[in-house]
Amino acid sequence: MPDKELTSAQKECEIWAVAGGKGGTGKSFISSCVGVSLAAKGKKVVLIDADLGGANLHSFLGINKPKTSLTDFFESRAALQELIIPSGIPGMGLITGNLHSLASDDIKYVQKLKLFRHIKALDADHVLIDLGAGSHYNTLDTFLLADKMIVVIVPEITSIENMYHFIKNAMFRKLTILFKTNGLRDMAEDTWKSRNALGIKNFQELVDYLKGTSDEIRELLDKGLAGFKIHFVLNKVKNNQEISIGLSVKSVCMKYLGFATQYVGYVEHDDCIRSCINNRLTFMRSYSSSRCAKEIEKLTDNLIEGKQVNLMRY
Residue 286 contacts ligand ATP per CB under 6 A: no
SS3 49: strand
Window 217-246: contact mask with ligand ATP (x via CB under 6 A): ------------------xx----------
Site string for ligand ATP, 114-143 (x = CB under 6 A): ------------------xx----------
Contact criterion met (CB below 8 Å) for 187 and 50: no
Sheet holding 92-96, edge to edge: 85-86, 92-96, 45-50, 126-131, 14-19, 148-153, 230-237, 262-268
Residue 187: name its binding partner from ligand ATP, Mg ion, none (Cβ under 5 to 8 Å by kind). none
Stretch that binds ligand ATP, among 184-192, 200-208, 254-262, 268-276 (CB under 6 A): 268-276
Burial class of 282 by CB neighbour count within 10 A (0 to 12, 13 to 18, 19+): buried
- Asked whether the beta carbons of 122 and 13 are under 8 A apart, the reply is yes
279 φ, ψ to 5°? -100, 15
Q: Is 273 an interacting residue with respect to ligand ATP (CB under 6 A)?
A: yes
180: how many CB neighbours lie within 10 A of its CB?
Answer: 15
Residue with smaller CB distance to ligand ATP, 47 or 200? 47
Only segment of 9-17, 22-30, 39-47, 183-191 that touches Mg ion (CB under 5 A): 22-30
Of residues 36 through 55, those in contact with Mg ion by CB under 5 A are: 51
User: What residue 236 binds from Mg ion, ligand ATP, none (CB within 5 to 8 A, per partner kind)?
Assistant: ligand ATP
Binding partner at 88 among Mg ion, ligand ATP, none, C-beta below 5 to 8 Å by kind: none
Query: Between residue 22 and residue 61, which ones bind ligand ATP under the rule CB under 6 A?
Result: 23-29, 51, 54
3-class secondary-structure state, position 160? helix
DSSP string, 198-253: HT--SHHHHHHHHHTT-HHHHHHHHHHTTT--EEEEEEEE-SHHHHTHHHHHHHHH
Binding residues for ligand ATP, rule: CB under 6 A, are: 23-29, 51, 54, 132-133, 235-236, 267, 269-270, 273-274, 277, 292
Binding residues for Mg ion, rule: CB under 5 A, are: 27-28, 51
